[in-house]
Structure formats: structure tokens, C-alpha cells
Structure 1
């Protein structure tokens, strides 16, 4: 399947049967805000090791704040816990919170952690909103394969620990940007996901939890001729995946019960 209006990679995996559908899943693409999932995981590793505490409270000066973030417009006298920064980074994709965590953790330490997890095609090279670095070719990258593996570890309770995996899932369930994979799904459905959004780049990755099964849905798009078109395509592919994996299986179960 080709689309002249964008490039894309897809990885959809039924976590009950381990069956998957993959298209260009190893393609290395600019991660946009998807990299924040890996930053969140590294932060929880330090919390698990006792090097950070989720209740630790810090202040952020004006020079450290970047535009287009909630923290940027809030009172300078506010302080934030590590838990606050993680939550803002994921559910609102706050770039000031993200940059503060990158500063605290260190880019090299984050990349070492990513490598230790076995991800060879995911890397953090710059802070958020550092467009000068991006122009020079310093960008953050990932693949649909790497992100799916991270989500699967989280779902199985194997990312840091069961406790912290559950915390990460709970945070991603509070995602505020529901304009892509979530847009055409039932409002009552539980979806733990993270979006990525830059000009001509739209991503949405996560885990969909239905009544009897759950599955990973990852779709990364880039070189899009229109951002709204990319969002719409992700929404349509997500709906098709849900109808096939969930509604289709439920209809089969009803049929089997009626036959009995």
C-alpha cells in the first residue's frame, strides 16, 4: 500500500495471540514527542534505584522555559514534583517539563538506558524545541518496532518493574491529544498512548484495552503534504484495526456461543 501524500510505518500487535501486522516497522524516522516515552522510562528507573523521588520538588527559571508549554505560561514561583514533570511531559507533551527531565537525567544516560533495553534505532540527540540543532541534522529518532517493544514491556510489567510499568500505563491513559488514533474509537474505550506532532510529522502509538483483548497500535507518519491528512489517516487505520481485532473477534465469539 502506497500513499503519495505521506510516508508511514505501522506495527499492530494482538497482545493476546502475539500475531502482528507490520509495514516499514524498522524504518528509522524522526521521533517527535514519542521519544518522551523513553525519557519517562529512564526517569522511573532512577526512581526505582532511589536516585530520584517522585515527590522531589524543583523550580524552573525563565531561561529554562520554552514556548508552547503549560509551564511557560504559569507563575514563575511555582514548583513541580518529578511526578508532575513526567505527567505533563506525557499527557500534555509539555516541552519545558521534558527539557527539565533531560537536563536532570543527561542525554548520554538516557541513550545508554535505551541501548541497554536493546533498542538500536532509537536515540535522543537534542532537547525539545531546539530547532537550531535540528537544522544542523541533530534530531531524535525511533522506529515503530522499538516503540512497540517498549509498550509491550510496559504491558507485561517488565519495564523497570510491575509497579512502575503500571504507573506508566496509567499516565499514558490520561493523554489529552485524542485527535489521531483515538478520534474514531468508542469514548469508553481505555487507550494508553502518546502522540508526536511536528510539521509534516504525525505519530500516535499506544495500547488499546478492550473487553476481552488488548493490542498495540503504532503508526508513524512523515513527509506529509498536509498535517490534517496525516491525522485523518492515522484515525482511519486505527478504526479499521479496532474493528478487525476487537469487533470481529467479539462477533465470532457471539456466533460460537449461539452455535452451541
Structure 2
């Protein structure tokens, strides 16, 4: 069974490498393929950043209602909307965290990294046992602003194992108290980029998805990831990481994304049909 997903992805035309882990909410591992292999994290690094920031809010060290003034120097390219807006905008920290996830805003992400501190983020990851996940530095910086590791070509990285473990602990309530757990899942549920896990979820007659999804995708050239909690009848925690895709285009109909989505959904449909209906 461990190669069934990859065989299906190959049949759909995906030629790259994949790391995949799927667990039930009780932690039972239902499927794993290269789960401990590290991949460039792309925007999935924003999941641990969200959780750590909400821990800071829970501890009273981050006021989610406080406003942050954006300078022109904060703008970085790539995904998101803040770099398209003028300097002087003052979103709250809750706005920043929300934008970081739901539209994968890189400018917002760098504000979070600046506030938390890269060293503190990595220490937090180590304490949590997520040893395959590391933040090398801020996103989309021009070369002259990159740190030495980034100039050497190092990048933020993670594994399917770590991503699933983090989400399992988030949903299970061991990382945040209930109100902040609900907030984290609410933000993840509102993500607008649902390229892989959410792409083939069946819909009702009104076009609404039959199953709720709290997720975060990530993309670089040749790199396509999606991690999340899918509330099928037996809820599933999923991390699909990939690299080596051959379609360099950046649009929802990217051939590698379609191949991964088409291979993943039959597996999710099979694994998600046992047990009680879950709820967020």
C-alpha cells in the first residue's frame, strides 16, 4: 500500500519526489511514504509560526489587537497582498497572522518572524521535537539582505512527519488552550489556496464542500505542498510534500498539482470513511 499513492501520481504524470503522512485524530498512522524526508518547507513553515505566535498571545507576550505599522522596507514579493499596498498601513497582529495563512502573505510572515526571532523559532521547534523543521530566515529577501546560510543556498525545511505531528497536537489541544486552538483552526480553515487536499473534495448540489478543511499549502518552482486536517467521517491529518515537479507555471492548473490532487483524493476517500463524524 505504501507505494500505491506514488504509483497513481506517476500514472497522472508526476515525476518528482513525495513525502506523505496521513493519521487519524488519535494519532494512528494510516499511511506513510518518505514521511521523515526533509523538503524545502515553502509556505508550510507558516503553520508552526502561527502556533508559536498564538502561544505568545496566550502567554500575554503578544497583543493580537495591537496595530503594526508597515514600512515600505517591509514589503517583499511573492504571495500575499500587503506588498501591493502603500506604507503606513496598520493591521493588527491578528490581521497579520490571518493574512500570513489565508493568502500566504510573505510580508506578513516576515513581520511575524521579526517579532518572534528566528533563533527563538528554531529553539521552539527543537523543544517540540520537530527536528526536521527549521527556519533559516525571512522569506523572499533580496540577496543583500539575506543571511549567510541563505546566501549559501540553504532554505527553510520540514518533513511530512513533523507537519502531521504539529497538527495532531494542535487539534488535540496540547499546544494551545481551547480559545486559541479554535482561533488557529479557524484561520487555517479560511485558507483560500486549496490546490491539493481541497481540490477534489466532493461538493453538494450548491457547490459547497461536503467536508471541512483546515489547511496550509506551499509552493516554489517545482515544489508543491499541502498540509491540513480534513473532516471526513473519520477525520484525517495529512501532510503531502513534493519536489521535482516539471511544470514551472504558477497557476491552479499546474500539471504537477493536478497529478498530486488526483492521486491523493482516492486514498483520502478510502481512509476517511471509518469512524464518527468529526467537528472543528
**TM-score with structure 1 setting the length:** 0.90
Q: In the TM superposition, what whole-angstrom CA distance separates every residue of 1:159-207 from its partner, at most 9, and x where no partner exists?
A: 1323222211111000100122111112232000000110000000100
Q: Which moved more, 1:129-138 or 1:51-60?
A: 129-138
Q: Which moved more, 1:163-172 or 1:145-154?
A: 163-172
Q: Is the 8 A contact 1:16 1:215 kept in 2?
A: no
Q: Of the candidates 52, 58, 70, which is equivalent to residue 60 of structure 1?
A: 70
Matched residue SS, 1:221: strand
Tell me the residue number matched to 1:257: none
**Structure 1 unmatched ranges of 5 or more:** 251-260
Tell me the residue number matched to 2:242: 221
Q: Of the candidates 210, 225, 233, which is equivalent to residue 188 of structure 1?
A: 210
Distance in 2 of aligned mates of 1:135 and 1:197: 20
Q: Please show how residues 12-31 of structure 1 align to structure 2 within 5 Å.
A: 12-15=22-25, 18-31=28-41
Tell me the residue number matched to 2:264: 238
Q: Is the 8 A contact 1:16 1:214 kept in 2?
A: no
Distance in 2 of aligned mates of 1:213 and 1:20: 11
Tell me the residue number matched to 1:169: 185
**TM-score with structure 2 setting the length:** 0.83
In terms of fraction of residues, the more helix-rich structure is 1
Q: Classify 1:81/1:17 alpha carbon distance in 2 versus 1 (closer, same or farther; 3 Å).
A: closer
Q: Of the candidates 175, 185, 205, which is equivalent to residue 159 of structure 1?
A: 175
Give the C-alpha shift of residue 130 in structure 1: 2.9
Give the C-alpha shift of residue 230 in structure 1: 2.4
Give the C-alpha shift of residue 126 in structure 1: 1.4
Distance in 2 of aligned mates of 1:181 and 1:135: 33
Cα RMSD after superposing both structures: 1.8
Tell me the residue number matched to 1:144: 160
Matched residue SS, 2:21: strand
